[in-house]
């Protein structure tokens, strides 16, 4: 492990994000902030090995000193000193998010969740999809393009 | 001459069938290319999930999670088994459907026999994707859940998640003790193999078997044997892992089965088209011969007639 300690002083680590539809991200990063079950978790190169459960949320990646944000859905991450592998159900950059669709999904989910006549399992699903849609909207609101933000504002003023 | 007319009729029908199979081949080829691309995208996700499960189980022999624990049965008790069988919605795909059905039937019979020998009872339910398999298995007298119907073509992750939820729910409610998945794995573009794998409780040996060849160590973040910690706690991490693992298993199997089906159909139709072409060649030759001999006979008749007039 002595070799490991030497190497772990390196400034970057590999980050790999895998989803069922595509290889979302692969490359060297300086830091990554994941949304773990109990809050955000920052990872720097040389982190001790840990497996983390992820909940839908905004992930923050630092590449070459630049910050990038993406939304990632539930999954898990394997973290090692040189490499972090994130396996999640879906991941998107803000510019790829369809604002109208996310908003529609959010409204649909919130109505289903509030409907007391639904069975409990159904309401849990609704709560989860509500959270997913909310995170997408949140990401657009914080880091989306001008056009997306305008769309979002228009929708909220209507 | 009667014969010439018959041959011409056959040529027409063979030609029409040939056109049909050629069209089907083209359709399957297009679908196959699409599904293969989808398969290539899902494989890393699928194998990463399987690998993580393996690695975590390897380093934590004593984890106590219902999804890892094989339930124990006493004499006279019943094993409840759920089979999820992936067949095609259409035939004309060579031995594709037949192979899947055959190994499922063998497996069910084997399980029942095995349990009878141990003094246990067996209850099973088949959940079949695809009409061909559902009808065949129901006709053969197996207990098929008739309510369960699911589109097999162009699978999405969302659909896979719905099925995975059913499995999870039934397994935890005690409706199943074992869940098997039967599908066709694409070993290479010309070699497809039907396989049976146990989904829950998680079977490490089966996991190794379904991993694409040579990816056993690819992309692991963790060093083998490193002490692992779980954040926030092992239970939560496991519930997420199992969740993702089951979804990935189902989705991976659906995509792979669909790609296999299209490939099998394309190959079958390719063969059919070729046979039609061969037959056409043969029949054309025969028809030419028949025409030739007809002309010869007519000529002889003419010459004979002329001779008699002289």
Are A47 and A99 part of one and the same domain?
no
Residue B295: inside a domain: no
CB contact set of B289 (below 8 Å; sequence gap of 6+)? none
Residues of B in contact with A82 (CB under 8 A): 221
Domain housing A48: 13-92
Quick one: residue B78, left, alpha or beta (phi over 0 = left, psi -120 to 50 = alpha)?
A: beta
Residue A71: inside a domain: yes
When pLDDT is cut at 50, 70 and 90, the band that residue A4 belongs to is very low
B41 in reach of chain A (CB within 8 A): yes
Of A51, A73, A92, the residue at which a domain comes to its end is A92
What CATH code is carried by the domain that includes residue A84?
2.60.15.10
Domain housing B259: 26-267
Residue A2: inside a domain: no
Residue A6: inside a domain: no
In terms of C-beta density within 10 A (0-12 exposed, 13-18 middle, 19 or more buried), how is residue A101 classed? exposed
Domain tally, chain A: 2
- pLDDT more than 90, % of chain B: 36
Q: What is the pLDDT along chain B (310 residues), one digit of tens a residue?
A: 558 888 999 999 999 999 999 999 999 999 989 988 888 888 888 777 777 777 777 766 666 777 877 888 888 888 899 999 999 888 888 889 999 999 999 999 999 999 988 888 888 999 999 888 888 999 988 888 888 888 788 888 888 888 888 898 889 888 899 999 999 988 877 788 898 988 888 876 666 666 655 444 444 545 555 567 787 777 777 777 788 888 888 888 899 899 999 999 999 999 999 999 999 999 999 999 999 999 999 999 999 999 998 7
Domain tally, chain B: 1
ipTM above 0.90, yes or no: no
What CATH code is carried by the domain that includes residue B237?
3.40.1380.10
Residue A106: inside a domain: yes
The Cα of A146 is separated from the nearest Cα of chain B by a number of Å equal to 31
pLDDT value for B66: 79
B2 in reach of chain A (CB within 8 A): no
Question: How many separate helices (H) and strands (E) can be counted in chain B?
Answer: 6, 5
Distances (CA, A) of A10 to A6, A46, A106, B52, B198: 8, 8, 42, 25, 42
pLDDT value for A158: 62
Whole-number average pLDDT of chain A: 86
Of A41, A58, A92, the residue at which a domain comes to its end is A92
Nearest residue of A to residue B158 by CA position?
A89
Measured torsion, CA atoms of residues B109, B143, B178, B191, in degrees rounded to the nearest 10: 60
Which residue stretches of B173-233 are H helix?
204-210
Residue A85: inside a domain: yes
User: Which member of A21, A83, A90 has the closest CB to residue B221?
Assistant: A83
B215 in reach of chain A (CB within 8 A): no
- Whole-angstrom distance, CA of residue A96 vs CA of residue A144: 9
Sign for the CA dihedral angle at B96, B98, B104, B110 comes to negative
Of A92, A113, A148, the residue at which a domain comes to its end is A92
CB contact set of A101 (below 8 Å; sequence gap of 6+)? none
Residue closest to B162 by CA, chosen among A131, A44, A121: A121
Residue B135: inside a domain: yes
What is the three-class DSSP state of A33?
A: strand
């Amino acid at each position: 492990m002595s070799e490991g300690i030497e190497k772990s002083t390196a400034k970057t680590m590999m980050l790999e994000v895998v989803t069922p539809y595509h290889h979302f991200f692969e490359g060297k990063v300086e830091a990554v902030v994941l949304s773990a079950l109990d809050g955000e978790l920052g990872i720097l190169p040389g982190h001790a090995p840990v497996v983390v459960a992820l909940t839908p949320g905004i992930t923050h990646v630092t590449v070459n000193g630049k910050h990038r944000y993406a939304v990632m859905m539930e999954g898990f991450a394997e973290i090692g000193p040189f490499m972090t592998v994130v396996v999640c159900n879906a991941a998107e950059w803000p510019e790829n998010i369809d604002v109208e669709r996310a908003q529609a999904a959010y409204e649909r989910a919130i109505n289903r969740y509030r409907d007391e006549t639904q069975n409990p399992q159904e309401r849990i699903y609704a709560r989860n999809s509500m959270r997913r849609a909310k995170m997408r909207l949140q990401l657009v609101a914080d880091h989306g393009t001008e056009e997306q933000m305008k769309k979002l504002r228009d929708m909220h003023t209507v | 001459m009667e014969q010439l007319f018959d041959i011409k009729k056959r040529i027409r029908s063979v030609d029409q069938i040939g056109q049909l199979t050629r069209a089907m081949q083209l359709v399957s080829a297009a679908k196959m290319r699409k599904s293969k691309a989808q398969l290539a995208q899902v494989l890393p996700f699928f194998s990463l999930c399987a690998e993580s499960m393996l690695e975590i189980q390897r380093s934590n022999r004593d984890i106590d999670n219902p999804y890892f624990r094989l339930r124990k049965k006493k004499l006279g008790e019943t094993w409840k088994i759920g089979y999820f069988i992936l067949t095609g919605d259409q035939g004309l795909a060579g031995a594709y459907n037949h192979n899947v059905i055959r190994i499922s039937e063998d497996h069910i019979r084997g399980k029942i026999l095995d349990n009878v020998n141990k003094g246990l009872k067996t209850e099973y339910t088949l959940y079949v994707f695809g009409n061909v398999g559902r009808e065949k298995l129901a006709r053969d007298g197996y207990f098929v859940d008739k309510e369960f119907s699911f589109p097999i073509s162009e699978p999405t992750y969302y659909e896979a998640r719905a099925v995975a939820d059913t499995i999870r729910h039934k397994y935890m409610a005690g409706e199943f003790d074992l869940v098997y998945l039967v599908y066709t794995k694409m070993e290479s573009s010309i070699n497809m193999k039907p396989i049976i794998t146990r989904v829950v409780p998680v079977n490490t040996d089966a996991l190794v078997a379904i991993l694409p060849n040579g990816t056993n160590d690819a992309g692991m973040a963790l060093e083998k044997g490193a002490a692992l910690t779980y954040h926030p706690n092992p239970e939560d991490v496991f519930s997420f892992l199992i969740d993702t693992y089951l979804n990935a298993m189902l989705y991976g199997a659906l995509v792979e089965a669909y790609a296999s089906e299209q490939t099998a159909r394309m190959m079958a139709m390719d063969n059919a088209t070729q046979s039609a072409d061969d037959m056409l060649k043969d029949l054309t030759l025969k028809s030419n011969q028949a025409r030739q001999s007809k002309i010869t006979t007519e000529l002889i008749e003419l010459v004979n007639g002329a001779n008699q007039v002289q």
